[in-house]
Amino acid sequence: MTEGGLALESFPRLAPGVRLKFDETRQQWIVLAPERVLVPDETALEVLQRCDGATRLDALIDDLARSYDADRGEITTDVQELLNGLIEKRLLTI
């Protein structure tokens, strides 16, 4: 059940010390992390907003596939790649 190294049974959540916040001044979502502020693109934001620690990765992917009426296989690969990158940067944890 794994692909791209990230288990579909895992429960991704923001790492400790990382917060997602809407920046009123700049009218955009930002990721606040130790010594850095990042601006997620639209796709990353959709994924991050679902990384609440209570949603299983496979359910998260189902939800995205439904919302975007997109191919589940493609989304699975993209999301796993995105999440792996965020885990490596210590912005996300499972």
Partner 1 sequence: MNATPETLAPMAALLELTHRCPLQCPYCSNPVELDRAKDELSTAEWCAVLDQAAALGIVQVHFSGGEPTVRRDLVDLTAHARAVGLYTNLITSGVAIDRARFAALVAAGLDHVQLSFQDVDVETAERIGNHKGAQAKKLAFAVWVREEGLPLTINAVVNRHNVRRVDALIEMAVALGAGRVEIAHVQYYGWALRNIGALMPTLADLEEATRRVEAARERLRGRIVIDYVVPDYYARMPKACMGGWGRRFLNVTPSGHVLPCHAAETIPDMAFESVRDRSLAEIWRSSEAFQRFRGIDWMPELCRSCDQREIDWGGCRCQALALTGSAAETDPACGKSPRHAALRALAEAASAAAAPPFHYRRMGLRSEDDGMKSPALQTS
Phi-psi category of 64—alpha, beta or left, where left has phi over 0 and alpha has psi -120 to 50? alpha
Residues 6+ apart with CB under 8 A from 4: 77, 80, 81, 84
Regarding 35 and contact with partner 1 (CB under 8 A), the answer is yes
Regarding 88 and contact with partner 1 (CB under 8 A), the answer is yes
Regarding 66 and contact with partner 1 (CB under 8 A), the answer is no
* Strand partners of residue 31: 20, 38
Among 2, 3, 9, 17, binds partner 1 (CB under 8 A): 17
The footprint of partner 1 (CB under 8 A) covers 15-19, 21, 23, 25-26, 30, 32, 34-35, 37, 87-90
